[in-house]
Amino acid sequence: MKYISKTNEPEVLANFKAQANDDWQPSYELLRGKDKQQFHHHLIAEQGHICCYCGERIVTSDSHIEHFQPQTEYPHLELDYFNLISSCQQKIQPKEPRHCGMGKGDWFDAELLVSPLIADCEEFFEYTAIGEILPSRVPEKAERAEKTIEKLRLNIPKLQAVRAGAIDSIYGDPDLQLPLADDEIDKLIHYYSHIDNDGKYQPYCQSIVYLLKQEKIDRSK
């Protein structure tokens, strides 16, 4: 999970909501066509083009607008910009496992679900070199992280495999001299912690950053 820093409500959503009058009230169901597509793209761009939960690369055609607090229980937040993010998966193919927003469905617990909109969300999770995501060993974070992993299905074999592949791509890079020097680790941490010139994070960047930082910690012991 990568922290999403929200800014001001985008003009396309503000203008849509501003059309409210005595005879017509805006709703998420009525947000359609170009307005919805433009807003969806805005969400993806502010997330660095990765899923709000797992970190997979996303575009509008393979993702959906996610209500962090579900519409069924919180209808008053259906057009609240700060409740709207973008999650991977749109149309589920046969036998394709649901995860992230599709896996969460209408479940929500403010005390247990880790939000990608809180600044320390990344500290709730740990990763292994084989692609596992684990709850933090910090006691006050562990229960929330464990429940979030369970409900979002973040540790299913599919996601473990793609995270492992992303991690392996680092250490399998023929241009890197192994073992990595400290300055090389620092460069990689910086690269995977920031968006590139196209405004994109690398897929599954947070798992890679975690493991690189862990390698530095282990060396210092």
Q: Average per-residue pLDDT in the chain? A: 94
SS3 133: strand
Chain center to CA of 131: 16
Token pair in block for residue 122: 């990344």
Domain ranges of the chain: 11-220
User: Is residue 188's pLDDT more than 90?
Assistant: yes
Residue 170's pLDDT band (boundaries 50, 70, 90)?
A: confident
pTM of the model: 0.93
Percentage above 70 pLDDT, the chain: 100
Q: What angle do CA 101, 153, 89 make, to 5 degrees?
A: 35
Mean of the pLDDT values across residues 31-50?
97
pLDDT tens track for 93-111: 888 999 999 999 999 999 9
Residue 2's pLDDT band (boundaries 50, 70, 90)?
A: very high
Closest by CA position to 82, among listed 133, 159, 10: 10
- The answer to whether the bond into 179 is cis (omega within 30° of 0) is yes
